[in-house]
Amino acid sequence: MKHIVAMGGAEYAKLGAPNNTGTRIVSVSGHVKRPGYYEVEVGKVTLGELINDPAFGGGLRDGRTLKAVIPGGSSAKVFKAGEKFKLKRKGADGQMTAVEVDLLDLPYDFDSLAQAGSMSGSGAIIVMDDSTDIVEALANIAEFYAQESCGQCTPCREGSLWMAKALHRLTHGQGRKQDADYLLNIAQNVQGRTICAFGEACAWPVLSFVKKFKDEFEAKGAADEEHRAKGAGPTSEMELAASPRY
Ligand code: SF4
């Protein structure tokens, strides 16, 4: 805002990248050395620079490696370390062409993140290193959305709660291997079937976390089943109900 007043709209619009003009204040949080708010020209820095450059996030703490990053607030679809994307770019001949881009080389702008299957959303970049329990991370997000649903439409009201309950089970010793598919099924039946965009906001994290880290969700559910088969851990819904959330 300050820059628009000082520079005038036309000059301000020259900042940034084509179709993604101006500046944006983004936050970088999670397992980085320098969490904080940074104002950047849209599309002039990459996701990797925002995480690793000393002027921004400063890199991961304690020599850890990247596991995942949420690029635009908790409702944005998560990226998995090492992912590559096909972005549409105008070639020298003026024709649109597909260019392969690594996750860390993704320009931080609206169009690039959308083409990579997520969004820049609120501009809140959440960085997770290899110490992250991805099931716990999603359980935390899902609980927030279950609390925030206003309850007006059934898919969101019930679906957000069912997803949070399934994730609570998975993080309290009562998981099942098929919970991964169960979660995907619920999320697919929430997105696109609600009055406001909150339906997508609660479904997209589940869809992306479970699809991209399905092995971890299934392993956790299978380990719980094995544990219970040996007579350990909560064995009934009543015992689970005694744990903090449900
Ligand atoms: S989708 Fe929106 S309107 Fe519907 S229950 Fe959820 S928050 Fe309420």
CATH number at residue 63: 3.10.20.600
Within-domain flag for 246: no
| Averaged pLDDT for residues 10-22 | 93
- Could you tell me if 194 and 162 lie in one domain? yes
Tokens 């635009």 belong to: 72
Range of the domain at 179: 134-241
Within-domain flag for 151: yes
**What local confidence, expressed as pLDDT, does residue 89 receive?**
86
pLDDT higher than 90, residue 141: yes
Q: Is the CB of 199 under 6 A from ligand 1?
A: yes
- Could you tell me if 141 and 225 lie in one domain? yes
- Could you tell me if 21 and 86 lie in one domain? yes
Within-domain flag for 48: yes
Kindly give the number of the ligand 1 atom that is closest to the alpha carbon of 148: 7
**What local confidence, expressed as pLDDT, does residue 90 receive?**
82
- Could you tell me if 82 and 125 lie in one domain? yes
Of the residues 95, 129, 163, which one is the last residue of a structural domain? 129
Of the residues 129, 159, 181, which one is the last residue of a structural domain? 129
- Could you tell me if 119 and 164 lie in one domain? no
**What local confidence, expressed as pLDDT, does residue 118 receive?**
98
Distance in angstroms (rounded) separating the CA atoms of residues 189 and 127: 28
* pLDDT tens, residue by residue, 164-221: 999 999 999 999 999 999 999 999 999 999 999 999 999 999 999 999 999 999 999 9
Largest CA distance in the chain: 70
pLDDT higher than 80, residue 85: yes
pLDDT higher than 90, residue 235: no
Structure tokens at 218: 């299934």
Within-domain flag for 227: yes
Q: How confident is the model at residue 236 (pLDDT cuts 50, 70, 90)?
A: low
- Could you tell me if 61 and 116 lie in one domain? yes
Strands of the 79-80 sheet, one edge to the other: 36-41, 23-30, 124-129, 66-70, 79-80
- Could you tell me if 112 and 158 lie in one domain? no
pLDDT higher than 80, residue 79: yes
Q: Is the CB of 197 under 6 A from ligand 1?
A: no
Of the residues 82, 102, 129, which one is the last residue of a structural domain? 129
- Could you tell me if 144 and 117 lie in one domain? no
- Could you tell me if 50 and 150 lie in one domain? no
Which 3 state secondary structure label does DSSP give 208?
helix
Q: Is the CB of 195 under 6 A from ligand 1?
A: yes
**What local confidence, expressed as pLDDT, does residue 160 receive?**
98
Q: Is the CB of 196 under 6 A from ligand 1?
A: yes
Q: Find the CATH number of the domain harbouring 219.
A: 1.20.1440.230
- Could you tell me if 39 and 80 lie in one domain? yes
**What local confidence, expressed as pLDDT, does residue 213 receive?**
98
Q: Is the CB of 149 under 6 A from ligand 1?
A: yes
**What local confidence, expressed as pLDDT, does residue 238 receive?**
56
| Averaged pLDDT for residues 46-58 | 98
If you measure from the C-alpha of residue 229 to the centroid of ligand 1, how many angstroms do you get, rounded to a whole number?
A: 39
Distance in angstroms (rounded) separating the CA atoms of residues 48 and 53: 8
- Could you tell me if 144 and 223 lie in one domain? yes
Share above pLDDT 70 across residues of the chain, in percent, rounded to a whole number:
94
Q: What is the number of domains present in the chain?
A: 2
**What local confidence, expressed as pLDDT, does residue 149 receive?**
97
> Dihedrals φ, ψ of 118, to 5°?
-130, -145
- Could you tell me if 86 and 152 lie in one domain? no
